[in-house]
Amino acid sequence: MWPEPEPIPVAGGFFPVHRPYISGDTDTSGRTPEGWLLDHSYARLPDVLFHRQAPVPVKAPHLVVFNKPLAADLGLYPEGLDGEAGANYFSGNRLPPGALPIAQAYAGHQFGGFTMLGDGRAILLGEQITPDGRRVDIQLKGAGQTPFSRRGDGRAALGPMLREYLVSEAMQALGIPTTRSLAVVTTGEPVIRESVLAGAILTRVAASHIRVGTFEYLAARRDTASLRILTEYTIQRHYPGLTTEESSRIPAFLEAVCDRQMELVVRWMLVGFVHGVMNTDNVALSGETIDYGPCAFMDHYDPGTVFSSIDTGGRYAYGRQASITHWNLTRLAEALIPLLHADEKEAVRMAEEILGTLPGKFQTLWSNGLRAKLGLTTREDGDEELIGQFLALMQEHGADWTLAFRSLAEKGLPGVPAYLVPGWQAWQTRWTDRLERQPESTETLRQGMRQRNPAVIPRNHHVERVLDAATNGDTAPFLSLLDAVGRPFQPLPEDSVWMAAPEAPDPHYRTFCGT
């Protein structure tokens, strides 16, 4: 535990920087009968960062899906929030005790163009303090118009909200840092997109909603005083172990954020995930995956895979996600220039030095991740060539990313015509010989591989089918797939529909933001 710093002045008074943000260091008494214990450290920051805004009531809220295990983890009592009570809370028709709703301000580079933004349809109710002292944001997504709506209706449709619920919970089960989904309610009101759709609201749980775009917002306003306060707040909320040495604190913060983001994107890519809209306002400083709009999982391996209907140039393609992360982190570094060093040239040099390490860090993380997926626990000179051949064969023959790795973890390449070509068979012989030169038994190695290569992911054709059924009133398929992706490393029966790849992946498959 490092020394208690002096309080930082903010609009309306002072707040102690240390106590509210460190896990296990928050008073958890005073919880309501339903389990609510909300605090508002973000709302004690300069008021330029938010607008006080209540959710807009809806006509007839109905609870569609409720994450009871997550509710219990948050210290909420599921039995008190199921049914009508939960529908009212998770729609915003009724505020939890102690709520102080706000819409957060931020900016963002969207497909490379800078825009001043903000929560156009999201309301932060507050920060729930969990039984073990963690602090997590409780946000309603689709809660109505705010001053940041930019002519939007502030609402959301049922399909996209269920998609976020499903995929975010799948990511959690895969062990990838992510925001979580607590509930989805329908509103009893339509929303107009390309057609008339059922309105819905998602309750999102996040370590915080501080983004690269939040820093860009203050930098664009040249509000260095507020930028310094936000930076110190973010450090103490998400990086409390950083040095207290003044000259190295901000550079250490930038480096820590860069490391966490690069680790995140590698984890995405190792399971074939394509985020789809990696704008800087969708880069959370906590290191969590945030915003599941046009996201999807890759079927056959192709670095150029794009699913987002609005990413016509392939900016956020599967194979470009690391370089785009580098680009996004460069925007954060630019925003932090006034804090890195009093001399601007020296600040730029420091930022460039930190950013310059990212390609090498990515390559190391990516290589190590692929090695683990292939069961390589020792190192030999030909390993990189072996891995490269595997990726090249998958791309050449349109192999399924998930099934190829999982098959190796089970019993070897699938015995189907696509894998019986000489190139594949020669590679498998070489790989099998490589495994035998390691100290562990083949079965031990494959057990480790099965913990790194999922059998079940939210495959696109399954996701679309269950969302179609749910929007037409049948949530049973959605709940079945939700259960399956919640146990991704456990093999299902061989005839399980949820493990099946599409017979022929649709090259024209596209996903949409839902806004």
Q: Which residues are catalytic?
A: 281
- Please, which residues bridge with residue 287 across strands? none
- Please count the other Cβ atoms lying within 10 Å of the Cβ belonging to residue 346: 11
Q: Return the percent helix, strand and coil in the chain, to nearest 5.
A: 45, 15, 40
User: What DSSP line would sit under 268-325, residue for residue?
Assistant: HHHTTEE-S---GGG-BTTS-B---SS-EE-SB--TT---BTT-TT-TT-GGGHHHHH
Count of helix runs (H) and strand runs (E) in the chain: 16, 15
Q: Please, are residues 247 and 268 in contact by the beta-carbon 8 Å criterion?
A: no
Q: Please, are residues 156 and 191 in contact by the beta-carbon 8 Å criterion?
A: yes
- Please, which residues bridge with residue 269 across strands? none
Q: Please, are residues 299 and 460 in contact by the beta-carbon 8 Å criterion?
A: yes
Residue where the block lists tokens 């450290």: 41
Q: State the Cα–Cα distance between residues 159 and 193, nearest whole angstrom.
A: 12
- How far CA 30 is from CA of 38, 71, 139, 170, in Å, comes to 10, 17, 21, 33
- Please count the other Cβ atoms lying within 10 Å of the Cβ belonging to residue 117: 22
Closest CA to 299 of 509, 101, 464, 63: 509
Q: Please, are residues 208 and 323 in contact by the beta-carbon 8 Å criterion?
A: no
Residues contacting 58, CB < 8 A, separation 6+? 91, 92, 93, 187, 188, 189, 199, 201
Burial call 154-174: b when 16+ CB within 10 Å, e when fewer: bbbbbbbbbbbbbbbbbbbbb
Q: Which secondary-structure segment (H or E) carries 420?
A: none
Cα within 13 Å of Cα(376), Cβ side: 20
The 8 Å CB, 24+ separation contacts for 191-196 are 191/153, 191/155, 191/156, 191/157, 192/153, 193/157, 193/514
- Please, which residues bridge with residue 274 across strands? 296
What is the residue type of 222? R
Q: State the Cα–Cα distance between residues 150 and 368, nearest whole angstrom.
A: 44
- Please count the other Cβ atoms lying within 10 Å of the Cβ belonging to residue 92: 25
Residues contacting 374, CB < 8 A, separation 6+? 386, 387, 390, 405, 408, 431, 449
- Please, which residues bridge with residue 139 across strands? 124, 204
